[in-house]
Amino acid sequence: MGEARAIISIDFEDEDCLEGALKALMPETLRAVSSRSNVKIFLEGRSLILEFSARDSTALRAAMNSYLRWILTIKELSLILKSY
């Protein structure tokens, strides 16, 4: 089985939330959670770009699920904090 790859672009309406997401997730990309996957993260305009590479589709799915859950949590917290 060959290497699995994916690129995800997530748009943010709020620039503070975008910067917060980048700062929160960047340390996760600097240390490998697993030797089976790797993630690069960067900004492009008002979008957060995540580039995933993994040894197989199972590792790719696991890495993507982790990062997407973290981003969803960051966005939800941002909405809650804005209401105060």
| Residue-range domain boundaries for the chain | 4-82
pTM of the complete model beyond 0.85: yes
Note the pLDDT of residue 84. Answer: 86
Angle formed at CA 10 by CA 52 and CA 38, multiple of 5 degrees: 15
**pLDDT tens across the length of the chain (84 residues):** 679 999 999 999 999 999 999 999 999 998 866 789 999 999 999 999 999 999 999 999 999 999 999 999 999 999 998 888
CB atoms within 10 A of CB 63: 23
Note the pLDDT of residue 10. Answer: 97
Q: Which amino acid is present at 82?
A: K
Note the pLDDT of residue 33. Answer: 63
Q: What is the CATH number of domain 4-82?
A: 3.30.310.50
- How far apart are the two ends of the chain, measured CA to CA in Å? 50
